[in-house]
Structure formats: C-alpha cells, structure tokens
Structure 1
Amino acid sequence: MRNQKKIQLQGAEKRIRLSDDLIWGVHPVVEALQREPERVVEIILHREKRSGKIEEIIGMAREKGIKTIFVQSLRLVGDGAGDIRHQGVVARTIQTALLPFDELLQRFAARVRQGERPRLVACDSLQDPHNLGAIIRSALASGAIGVILTRERSAPLGGTAVKASAGAVSHIDICQVTNLVAALKKVKEAGAWVFGAVKDSTAQSLYATDFRLPACVVVGSEGEGIRPLVRRECDIVISIPMAGTLDSLNSSVAAAVILFEAMRQNEGPV
C-alpha cells in the first residue's frame, strides 16, 4: 500500500490541457479511486469546492498515497474543454497500473538467485515528463526490468510522459516510492549494486565501469541532479566522458548512454 503523502497547495489558476489521461467530475474520480487506484497518479482539486464526496476523494487519496494538489482556480483548456463540467476535481491517470515496490524487489531478487544480472533504473525527482518518458523508453529498450520513480517532486506519469515513452510504460514494471533513499537500501539488500549518474570530475568514467552484475542506475533531476542523501546510497558514482566545452547531458540522454553501455557489457553469457 502506498504511504500517506502531504497535500500540496498552489495559489494560481491551474490550467490543464485536455488529454486522454484525464478523468474529471466527482463520481468518475471516486470510481477510479475505488476500482483502479494504482492508475491514479495525481488529483487536482478546487480548494473552495467541498462536499461529502470531495472529502471522500481527499480521504482515499491520503490513504493510498496519491499526490493531491489544491488550487485557487481550476480550468480545462483545449478543443472541447469549454463544454466540460469538472466539478472542481480532475485526476491524472496512466494507461497501466503501477507495480508495488515490494513486488518489484521480489522479481529482481528472484532473477539474482537464478544467476542473472537484472538491471533497474531509479529516477530521482525528475521534473520534465518528456525526459521521464524517454528514460522509461530507454530502460525497456536496453533490457532493464523495472523503473523506480519518486512520488514527491516528480513529473506526473501522465499523457506527456506516456507519449514520450512510445508505449514503453505498458511493457515494463514501474513503481513509485515515497523515500528513494530507503528504497535503494532495499534494492542493495536484494543484490544490486547502485550506480549514480553525476556530472563530477571525481566520478568514475562510465567506460571504466563494470556493469556485469545486478545493477540499479540512478538518474537525477534536470537541474539539481542526484540529491546528496541519494548519492550517499550509491555504491559507485559515474560520469560520461565528453569532448568540447559542454559539461553535462540532458538527463534522458545521459540515462540512455549509460543503460546501453550496460546492455553492451551484458550481451555475453552470464
């Protein structure tokens, strides 16, 4: 079960572009929370709209650890949005259900016990849904078995991320965790070595790194990178050697470079 999360407050009008990943209206959102809560990744509520059903939505979201945002004003925009009555509540969903973290750990550990070298990807507070989707796509294409996302300070796994993933979200295990530091500790207990991608001259070169073992690659946010406490949980921090004056790559590009190097190294027999 998801852990309880803090409710976020926003003061300005929230404009949401109409897309296939949205559910709006009190009763449809309640039904989604009751039937498929694993698919609901975010709920936006007009802070002045209160009723018994709204309170029920807030309570279920708290219980299931779903990100809940209160806004001063809520407006859907785009073709056909003018005819929609959202009743002060909009939910963002994904096409596939998220996997519980403990189940992902069990699957990873089982492969390790069988002598395999499975790989995971952990995204530390990525803000850009395009980058998030691209990383999920690269994870699937490079043979990773799962992706770990943070619930707080993370781009929603909604329509933009799903589109950027080119459908990969439906073909790879994805889970969300409240505390990435604690999650990485458990990943290591399951047999993984944790590699943190950083832009640091003191980090080990990607091409001097041995990925022929069970691994979890951690990729940080676009601006701040991996947070200090998360970095401390990394067994090895690695960087990508680059020519010219640039000192870093887009997070999704960096993730792809690392993941495909890991795949290249693991193409031979275990």
Structure 2
Amino acid sequence: MKNYIYGKNAVENTIKNFIDEIKQVFILKGHAFDPEIFSIIKQKNLEWHSLERQEFNSLIKDGVNHQGLIAQVKDFNYLELKDFYNNSKLKQKVLILDKIQDPQNFGSIIRTASLFGVDGIIIQETNQVQVTPAVMKASAGTIYNVPIIKVSNLKSAISSLKDRGFWIYSSYLNEESKSIGEIDFDNKSVIIIGNEGNGIGSKIIEMSDFTFKIETNNVIDSLNVSVATGIILFELSKK
C-alpha cells in the first residue's frame, strides 16, 4: 500500500527537512511550487508529476484538504524502546499517549512536542491512532522531528523508564491532583496524556509518581487533549 502525505505545510516541510523520506511529489495542474521548494526538488532530482484533477484526486480519499500538493513517502519508521534508549542523544522529556483516537489530536500533539523539544513520544500498538496521512498533515510536516516509539504494553514501558531514573507525571482531572503550577518537574520527566473521552487508565494512574491538572474556570468539562498537551509542555519547558 502506498503512503501519501498531503497539504502545503506538510509536504513542503518534509521536502525542506526530510527529503529522503519522499519517493515522489504530485502537484495539481494549475498550482505552482514555491520557488524555494522547486529549487530543492531540482537540486535533489526528486521525481515529480503534474496531474489533472481526476487523476490527482484518485490518489487519496475524497474530502481531504490537499491544497494541490501530495507526496508519496516511505513507510513510517517507528522506533523500538531499546533503540530509543541506545540513541546517543540525552533523554530528558518523554511523552506517553494512552489511547489517543483522533488523528487531528495526534498530529497536533506531535507538532507541539516538536516545538517544545520532547525527546520521544510513546504510543501503544493497539487502541491508538497510528501515523496516518491525516496525522502527518495535522503535524504540519513535523512527524519526523520527534521519535515515535511503539510498544505492546504501556505499563511495561513505564516500568522501564522508572528503572532509568524517570519520574512519571499523569494529567488527571480529580480533586487529589495538584495544580500544574505546583508541580516541580524533574529533569527526567515522563508526561502521560489520556484518551479524549476516558482519560488515563486506572492501572497507569497507580504507577504514576504525581498526578496534576490544569486549573480552569470550569465553564466546560475539560480542555481538548491537544490544547491541554500544549499547556503542559509549555509549563514543563519553564521548569
């Protein structure tokens, strides 16, 4: 099965920063490449095609906002946890996602994690949206900026991180949780973000060293998960 990313930001950012991940580029007739992007395409001898609308639209499902640009990319390369540890880069900030379902949320979280220097994102193999074209578009081409580690069991991954000196902080909305402003994040911190509807599983909460919440005026029940993640990572970056 061929993998496509689409949308101006996602495709152009990938061409600029991760061109080796791209197999070929398609542009809708009547559209033009940004001059800088076209210069890179020519310099790197990247295969590209200008397609009529019917052929262009046949590459991806109906209704997506492709903005006249599609790129075929290689299969996404998830890391294994052991390979993440073996990478020479110092690991200090890790994000764990517990069953995020929405591609837009996942992509937005990846983008935010990239902006705030997260060293790795850990997801589970099941009951979690994977890296899809919709996720790639929502990440605005930052999907390759942050290692994404796929594991069979989040609890085992958390235990492994604890063994390596990480402290575990879960975003959990209840009366016992501290306000995020009161949390003194450790240099080696794991932040856990829960599912859009059900939050973090109870077994994972039990493994956490701290639970925290974002104080709001309670006009609505809770923040969108990607918005909440942005606030959390901003607070973490300040500490």
Asked if Structure 1 and Structure 2 have the same fold, meaning a TM-score greater than 0.5 normalized by the shorter chain, the answer is yes
Q: CA deviation at 1:95?
A: 5.6
Per-residue deviation, residues 129-154 of structure 1 (Å, max 9, x unmatched): 11011111111111111100111101
Q: Distance in 2 between matches of 1:94 and 1:209?
A: 41
For these two proteins, the number of residue pairs brought into alignment is: 178
Alignment of 1:9-48 (within 5 A): 20=4
Q: Distance in 1 between matches of 2:221 and 2:177?
A: 13
SS in 2 for 1:170: coil
Match of 1:159 in 2: 133
Moved over 3 A (4+): 93-96
Q: Which 5+ residue runs of structure 2 have no aligned equivalent?
A: 6-55, 61-72
2:3–2:74 Cα contact (<8 Å) kept: no
Name which of 99, 104, 129 aligns with 2:84.
104
Match of 1:202 in 2: 176
Asked which structure has the greater RCO (Cα within 8 Å, sep 6+), the reply is 2
Q: Distance in 1 between matches of 2:217 and 2:74?
A: 39
Q: 1:81 to 1:256 in 2, by over 3 A?
A: closer
Q: CA RMSD in A?
A: 2.6
* Alignment partner of 1:228 is 2:202: yes
Alignment of 1:70-219 (within 5 A): 79-80=57-58, 96-107=76-87, 111=90, 118-219=92-193
2:93–2:188 Cα contact (<8 Å) kept: yes
Q: Distance in 1 between matches of 2:74 and 2:103?
A: 13
Question: Share of identical aligned residues, percent?
Answer: 27
Which TM-score applies when normalising by structure 1? Answer: 0.61
Q: Distance in 2 between matches of 1:244 and 1:138?
A: 24
Q: CA deviation at 1:198?
A: 1.2
Q: CA deviation at 1:229?
A: 1.0
Q: Which 5+ residue runs of structure 1 have no aligned equivalent?
A: 1-17, 22-77, 83-92, 113-117, 266-270
SS in 2 for 1:111: coil
Match of 2:63 in 1: none
Per-residue deviation, residues 147-186 of structure 1 (Å, max 9, x unmatched): 0011110112111111111111111111111100111000
1:94–1:162 Cα contact (<8 Å) kept: no
Which TM-score applies when normalising by structure 2? Answer: 0.68
SS in 2 for 1:20: strand
Q: CA deviation at 1:213?
A: 1.9
1:94–1:158 Cα contact (<8 Å) kept: no
Q: CA deviation at 1:80?
A: 2.2
